[in-house]
Amino acid sequence: MKKRKRYFTIMIVPHTEESTYSIRLPLFVVQLLVAFSALCLAGLLILVYSYMNALNDAREVQALRKINQVQQDEINTFAFETQKLIEQMGQIEILADLVAEKLGISLEEEEGGEDEDTSSTGEGGGESRLYASRSGERRVLDRAVANIEVLQQLIPEKAESMELLEVEVDKFVRRLAATPSIWPASGSITSGFGMRRSPFNRAVMKYHSGIDIAGAYGSPIYATADGTVVSAGYQGGYGNMVLINHGYGFETCYAHMSRIAVSSGQWVKRGQVIGYMGQTGLATGTHVHYEVRVNGVAVNPMNYMR
């Protein structure tokens, strides 16, 4: 017997008095329509899901681009700042060389290893070592890394030089502080250094180991450099006298004071009041007799008075 075909009937019933309509479709057609609709719905859902994922991915890519741009700007800034540091270190090196030249020392001896290293690598010196940071063929990150490598090499070398320079500058400052350099009192010079006629007998020539500065009685007398008071008291013809040892072979003597303001063993600074002008000892008037001695030998004080 022949198998009967199965059908699916759709009836349309209007709300008016018109007659109803019916559509008779084979069952397999309905099944195909349902399957096709399900596929379309599934495809639509997949498309919507893909679109949402793509939208999220686009947002993430945009955010990553912004982050990447910020990082790139930071790397650019970093490369620029490291380059500035290298240039500033070059300026510091020039300044250090100038200071060392003024002090009469050489920093090149301490940096001999550096010259050997740079010559072996073919870089030759500070300017060529900056080539890595100035090359237009390298990316910014590569230049930043190269700058860091240069700084890692430069900083220890320059730190050693700066330590040496610091020691020498400290020595220079201490020697400068110990070198007589100011007038011991206000007034006018009435007798210079060297041979002169004796103020007590004009017919006799005598050696004068210092200079005489005349001023008002009781006016202050100042230490002309930092040092330690060796003696402070009455010393025969010198009258009330203060002797200061400044170190580095320097000594200064201040005589004929009316009153002494320091004591033996006391540390004094340049410009500190150590006594007051007077006429004690062998003196024909109010003044201070000032001597500068270098390694025990009296020298012309005018060479040490600004």
Q: What pLDDT sits at residue 135?
A: 43
Q: What is the mean pLDDT of residues 281-291?
A: 94
Q: What pLDDT sits at residue 139?
A: 67
Q: Is the pTM of this model over 0.75?
A: no
At 175-229, the pLDDT tens digits run 999 999 999 999 999 999 999 888 777 778 889 999 999 999 999 999 999 999 9
User: What is the phi/psi pair of residue 19, to 5°?
Assistant: -75, 155
Percent over 90 (pLDDT), the chain: 43
Q: What pLDDT sits at residue 3?
A: 56
Q: What is the mean pLDDT of residues 243-250?
A: 96
Separation CA 276–CA 217 (nearest Å) = 8
Inform me whether the pLDDT recorded for 301 exceeds 90: yes
At 52-107, the pLDDT tens digits run 999 898 999 988 888 888 877 877 787 777 778 778 777 777 887 888 777 777 76
Residues 6+ apart with CB under 8 A from 206: 195, 196, 197, 198
* Residue listed under structure tokens 């301490």: 110
Q: What pLDDT sits at residue 7?
A: 72
Inform me whether the pLDDT recorded for 113 exceeds 50: no
Q: What is the mean pLDDT of residues 269-277?
A: 97
Inform me whether the pLDDT recorded for 108 exceeds 90: no
Inform me whether the pLDDT recorded for 136 exceeds 60: no
Q: What pLDDT sits at residue 226?
A: 96
Q: What is the mean pLDDT of the chain?
A: 82
Pick the closest to residue 155 from 105, 93, 103 (CA basis): 93
Residues 6+ apart with CB under 8 A from 190: 212, 213, 214, 285, 287
Q: What element of type H or E holds 231?
A: strand 227-234
Q: What's the Cα-to-Cα distance from 250 to each of 64, 127, 229, 261, 274, rounded to whole Å?
A: 72, 45, 12, 21, 17
Inform me whether the pLDDT recorded for 122 exceeds 80: no
DSSP bridge pairs for 50:
none
Inform me whether the pLDDT recorded for 130 exceeds 50: no
Specify the CATH superfamily of domain 188-304: Glucose Permease (Domain IIA) (2.70.70.10)
